[in-house]
Each structure stands twice: as C-alpha cells, then as structure tokens.
Amino acid sequence: MAGFDVIVCGSLHYDIVVDAPRLPVLDETLPGTHWQPVFGGKGRNQAVAARLFGAETAMIGRVGNDDFGAALTADLMARGVSADHVATVDDAGSGMSVAIVDKNGDYGAVIVSGANLTLSADVVQQAMRALGPAKVGLIQNEIPEAANLAFARVCRASGATTLFNAAPARASDPALLAAVNVLIVNRVEAAMLAGEAVGTEIDAGRLVATLAETVATVIVTLGPDGALLHEAGQTVHIPGERVAVASTHGAGDAFAGALAARLAAGDAMEPAVRYANRAAARIVATPPAERAALTLSDFG
C-alpha cells in the first residue's frame, strides 16, 4: 500500500463567521453586516489546504452525530480528502466556533470543541495502522495532547516528517516537542511555548533560536512580515507578500497545509516555506466566501 502524501490528525468545526465594523468590547453589542457558515477546525482547514496544493491527503478526526458532523464529513470528501477515519460519535456534538471579522480583516473567535475532545491515542493508533505510511504528518492544538503524541510517535517510527502547528497556544508536553520534526508557531505562540510573557514587543528572532533547542526546525510566522525559519543552526527571514487584506482568518492553516504539501512533494524546507508564505498571502487577499472556488492554478 503506497499510503498518503499527508495525513492530518486534528479538529473539525462548523464555523459561523460574522462581519462587523470592529470587534466588540466587554458588555457591548454591535450590529453586524453579514454572517455565513464556514467549514473549519484547524485540522480540517489544513487537510483541505494540503489537498488543494496537490497532496493526496487523509484526515483523522471526530464529529458528532448531528447535521454539522454530516456536513463536515461530506465537505471533506467533496474536496478530495479521505474521511474514512473521521468517526461519528454519539456522546458529543460536533465542534463549532463563532468568529467575528472586523473591517480590517482581523478577527476573534470562540471555539466549542465537542467531539474533537473524544479523539484518543488508541483511536489514532488504529487509524494510522489502517491508513499506512505517509510522507508528512500534521497536527495542531485543538485535540487532546495524548492523541497528538500518539500520532507523532507513529509518524516518527515510520519515517514520516511530522509538522506541529502549536495553535491555539497552550503549554506543550516536552515529549510531544521531542517527537516532532518541525514546529510552526506565530509570535505569541512562540513566546508562550518559550515560557515568556506575551507583551507588545516580542523578539521573534531570539524566540526561534530558543525553541530550536527543543525542535530541530522551527518556523515563526510573522503575518505581513513573512516568516522566520530556523534550520541546521541558521535563521533565515522569508519576507512577507504585500496584499490587500480581505481576512486573516485561516491564513495560518493555509500556510501549514501548503508547507506539508510541498514537503511531501520533495521540496527542501526553505523553498517549501517560501511557497507556503505566498500561498497564505493569497488566502488572506481572498474573501472567505470565495476561497472554496480557489484551485491550484490560482497560486501560480
């Protein structure tokens, strides 16, 4: 069995995205201008992105026995992602979130994880045995850490390159960091993983070197300023792409999925990061409602 280029183990959420002139403050109610349902979850988004960028992709995850879950699974299959190991559970509802996007494209969100939190190490190990070896494995922080650790260890044992997008930010088990090959974080996530206070001034260059003491390859994404790549003792700055921002929602997931796809295709790390940086910029410049229509040819 040849296996898949990329296997993503992660979350699936049914997102409600609301447009508003700005983000509300405490005790404030704002009039919104538009809302729409969007299929999401960092795992789902990264799996779809990896498939969009040419990788044969499979997803491991869980949804509830509800309309949201049925829609999430059908969406994966429609986009060419194998959903054979996205299980439906009766004891929890599907994950969902509500995101508010302001006029500048910035956003805030609340997530209800639901069925995603029922994904166990045993389930992950069984799925990996059934799926066979992959070239690249990809995990995030929206499922239990035990599931992530089991996935990373199976990937390492099989020789797959494991990418860990440590988002949303939370403390990570040193055993998990030791089991992955590549760490992908933004500035805030980098500071939190390094055990530093999160303030207005974050020295990303220093943080990337600190994190590289634990994980061999570290990528710190910098939004419009691009990304820092630390590999083999050297740090390289990949400049940002200048685009008109429609929404930053989903940019990090596009970056991770594109990176996984290019590594699976055989790219070296630096050109893969440069490609992922351009891909994320194209996503940021595209309104969320129009992203489903994008094809590989739209990314040059």
The answer to whether the beta carbons of residues 83 and 73 sit under 8 Å apart is yes
pLDDT score, position 199: 67
Query: CB neighbours (10 Å) of residue 201?
Result: 5
pLDDT score, position 292: 87
Mean pLDDT of all residues belonging to the chain = 94
pLDDT score, position 200: 61
Output phi, psi for 48, to 5 deg: -65, -40
Structure tokens at 42: 């960092």
Query: CB neighbours (10 Å) of residue 21?
Result: 11
DSSP per-residue codes, 69-135: HHHHHHHHHHTT-EEEEEEEESSSPPEEEEEEE-TTS-EEEEEE-GGGGG--HHHHHHHHHHH--EE
How does strand 82-89 pair with strand 13-19? unpaired
Single out the residue of 63, 49, 57 nearest to residue 3, CA to CA.
57
The answer to whether the beta carbons of residues 19 and 34 sit under 8 Å apart is yes
pLDDT category at 96 given cuts 50, 70, 90 is: very high
Sign of CA dihedral 250, 256, 260, 266: positive
pLDDT category at 196 given cuts 50, 70, 90 is: confident
Domain residue spans in the chain?
4-23+35-291
Task: State mean pLDDT over 165-194.
Answer: 93
Single out the residue of 90, 242, 220, 98 nearest to residue 167, CA to CA.
220
Task: State mean pLDDT over 22-37.
Answer: 94
The answer to whether the beta carbons of residues 6 and 50 sit under 8 Å apart is yes
Q: 4-23+35-291: CATH homologous superfamily? A: Ribokinase (3.40.1190.20)
Share of the chain above pLDDT 90, in %: 80
Q: Is pLDDT at 169 greater than 60 in this prediction?
A: yes
Single out the residue of 175, 177, 250 nearest to residue 218, CA to CA.
177
Between 288 and 243, whose confidence is greater?
243
Q: Of residues 27, 90, 253, 298, which has the active-site annotation?
A: 253
Among 16-20, 51-55, 195-199, top mean pLDDT goes to 51-55
pLDDT category at 283 given cuts 50, 70, 90 is: very high
Task: State mean pLDDT over 144-169.
Answer: 97
Query: CB neighbours (10 Å) of residue 33?
Result: 11
Is 19 considered catalytic here?
no
Peptide bond preceding 133: is omega within 30 degrees of 0, i.e. cis?
Answer: no
